[in-house]
């Protein structure tokens, strides 16, 4: 056996998130069943991190133990022949035995997409549709408070294991209008559950004039899971890339 690293993309609309569920279908379950078809035995898949229900990915990374005699390219072809069309394997490669999709990751990039186009019935699964334009410069000012190394407890799920570290580093946040879309991009060492959506929701509240840019700083410094009442809709969120290397 050897370690296979696979990069995959998926439309999260029809799934209850990445993780296997007892009463719903997670993407992990679909991928593991496809590998079971190939290997004729159960095969565990580990991802760089979970994505929640309705969240999408262009660059999720997984690893699993491949079988001798099946090369990585064969895995890509075979999996894409079995998986539903809304889950695609973009690449497969052989990795050193100590590679781990989650623990070897050095950083991640997420994108959050909003749209001003309320008339398009085809985008509601893929973008957060806004009513009216927002103040981008105010949001950019507010986003600066989120950069750097901080305890992001205020922008995290209430359900996170208390033993899990809340300190992360965000190196880059961009906010740009592209035709009818408003696009946020976040790059950092890692993110807590709901962190991107809660930060985006708070920034949108700034853009709508509901709170001042400085309110973001106050939320962050509170380090209180009740400090941020905002959580942007899941369907606008995309895991774009997972970074590895030294």
For 1, 16, 36, 37, 90, the CA distances from 24, given in Å and listed in that order, are 31, 6, 19, 21, 25
Residue 196 token pair:
């991107």
Residue 120 token pair:
């398009």
Residue 141 token pair:
């000012």
CB 135 within 8 A of CB 207: yes
Q: Where are the alpha helices (DSSP H) in 91-188?
A: 136-143
Inter-axis angle of helices 214-222 and 195-207, nearest 10: 150
| CA–CA gap between residue 192 and residue 194 (Å, rounded) | 6
Instruction: Give me the numbers of helices (H) and strands (E) for the chain, helices first please.
Output: 5, 10
Residues classed as catalytic: 52
Helix (H) / strand (E) containing 240: strand 237-243
Q: If you search the block for the tokens 């095969």, which residue do you land on?
A: 43
Residue 159 token pair:
């359900």
Residue 243, helix vs strand vs coil: strand
């Amino acid at each position: 056996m050897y370690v296979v690293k696979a990069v995959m993309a998926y439309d999260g609309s029809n799934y209850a998130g990445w993780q296997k569920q007892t009463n719903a279908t997670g993407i992990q379950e679909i991928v593991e069943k496809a590998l079971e078809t190939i290997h004729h035995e159960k095969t565990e898949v580990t991802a760089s991190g979970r994505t929640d229900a309705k969240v999408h990915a262009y660059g999720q990374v997984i690893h699993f133990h491949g079988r001798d005699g099946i090369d990585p390219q064969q895995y890509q072809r075979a999996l894409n022949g079995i998986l539903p069309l809304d889950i695609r394997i973009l690449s497969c490669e052989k990795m050193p035995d100590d590679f781990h999709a989650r623990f070897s990751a050095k950083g991640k990039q997420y994108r959050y997409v909003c749209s001003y186009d309320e008339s398009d019935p085809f985008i509601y699964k893929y973008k957060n549709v806004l009513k009216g334009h927002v103040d981008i410069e105010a949001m950019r000012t507010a986003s600066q408070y989120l950069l750097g190394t901080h305890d992001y407890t205020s922008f995290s799920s209430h359900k996170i294991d208390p033993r899990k570290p809340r300190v992360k580093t965000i190196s880059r946040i961009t906010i740009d209008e592209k035709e009818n879309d408003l696009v946020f991009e976040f790059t950092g060492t890692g993110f807590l559950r709901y962190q991107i959506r809660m930060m985006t929701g708070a920034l949108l509240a700034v853009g709508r004039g509901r709170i001042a840019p400085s309110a973001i700083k106050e939320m962050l410094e509170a380090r209180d899971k009740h400090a941020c009442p905002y959580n942007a809709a899941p369907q606008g969120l995309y895991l774009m890339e997972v970074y590895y290397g030294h």
